[in-house]
Amino acid sequence: MAVTFKKYHGLGNDYLVYDCIKNTYELTPKRARMICDRHFGVGSDGILVGPYFEEDGIHVKIYNPDGSMAEESGNGIRIFARYLKDNDYVQKKHFVLHTDRGSVEVTYLNENGSRLRASMGKLNFFSDEIPVTGPRREVINEEMEFGGNTYKTTCVSIGIPHCVIPMDEISREKVCSIGKFSEDAPCFPNRMNTLIMKPIDEYNIAIEIHERGAGYTLASGSGSCAAAGVAYRLGLASNKMTVHMPGGELQVEIEEDGEVLMTGDVGYVGTTTLGYEFLAKLRVLE
């Protein structure tokens, strides 16, 4: 029984697509974690499983590299939409993709589907809906302590929780030093994605990213939307901006009602077929 994956990346944020129609092997959290391992497995920032065809349309499930499930992924949405077009599951220019977080409107912006726009939902700064512990309030510019250091932090959900910390200078080392404490901080009951953000000018910001269940990543679609939303809310940027990340750039637009539109590219890497030795190791896992 052959088990195959298609590998794509969104600005260096790489995912494996597991087609549940063309494959019959059962994925589990432990198996997903081993497959995502960059030393002993195929290596990826997660696995996109689908398409599941239901009455309301096409659904996708998303594994983080630690085997946990993600409600949504901005890069993952664009990648899976590209896969659907590549494999003739979708022929229309516009369609709706369903995740565990909700529905996302996707638009193909070129013929081969490598550039896409996705409507990512509305920004939510309220503590009980992110969630952040404590009384209900908008979590904006609050002092929070991570690893013995205090930071002015704004928290926001766009289906996935993010904390955003504006800084004059940002780096991989800085976000990782904060993220290892903030991801599982007691004030974040569902764990937290951590972004440090440098405002550049009215139309540009730069971010570094530490994702829950994944660690440091080169790019994040939902993270870009969250950081852009925070920059706009704090008056650091306009409602249309380019978000610069180590893996590349995304264009983000925040509409008057808080809806966020994200535009970016997706690249196809290739096909991976799991070997019999590796499959034997997976079979012993639950």
**Percent of the chain clearing pLDDT 90 (strictly above):** 92
* Cis bond before residue 65 (omega within 30° of 0): no
Whose tokens are 């409507």? That residue is 119
The CATH code for residues 122-263 is 3.10.310.10
**Cβ(128)–Cβ(188) under 8 Å?**
no
Domains 4-114+267-283 and 122-263 fall in the same CATH topology: yes
Residue 2 has what pLDDT?
A: 84
pTM summary value: 0.91
Q: Tokens representing 176?
A: 């990782």
Other residues' Cβ atoms within 10 Å of the Cβ of residue 76: 27
Residue 77 · residue 159 · CB < 8 Å: no
Find the mean pLDDT for residues 272-285: 93
Say whether 84 sits in a helix, a strand or coil: helix
Instruction: Check residue 47 and give its pLDDT.
Output: 98
Annotated binding site for substrate: 13, 64, 74-75, 193, 211-212, 221-222
Q: Residue written as tokens 């926001």?
A: 156
The pLDDT score that the predictor gives to residue 262 is: 97
Quick one: tokens of 273? 């077929």
pLDDT at 213 over 90: no
CATH code of the domain made up of 4-114+267-283: 3.10.310.10
> Do residues 163 and 133 make contact, with C-beta atoms less than 8 angstroms apart?
no
Mean pLDDT of 119-141: 96
Task: List all residues 6 or more positions away from 202 whose beta carbon is below 8 Å from its beta carbon.
Answer: 237, 238, 241
Q: Does the structure show a pLDDT above 90 at 71?
A: no
All structural domains of the chain with their residue ranges: 4-114+267-283, 122-263
- Is the pLDDT score of 1 beyond 80? no
pLDDT at 282 over 80: yes
| Each residue's pLDDT tens digit, 35-70 | 999 999 999 999 999 999 999 999 999 999 999 999
Residue 192's H or E segment, with its range, is: none
Q: How far is residue 64 CA from its own chain's centroid?
A: 9
Binding residues, by number, are 13, 64, 74-75, 193, 211-212, 221-222
Q: What angle separates helix 74-86 from helix 221-233, to the nearest 10 degrees? A: 140
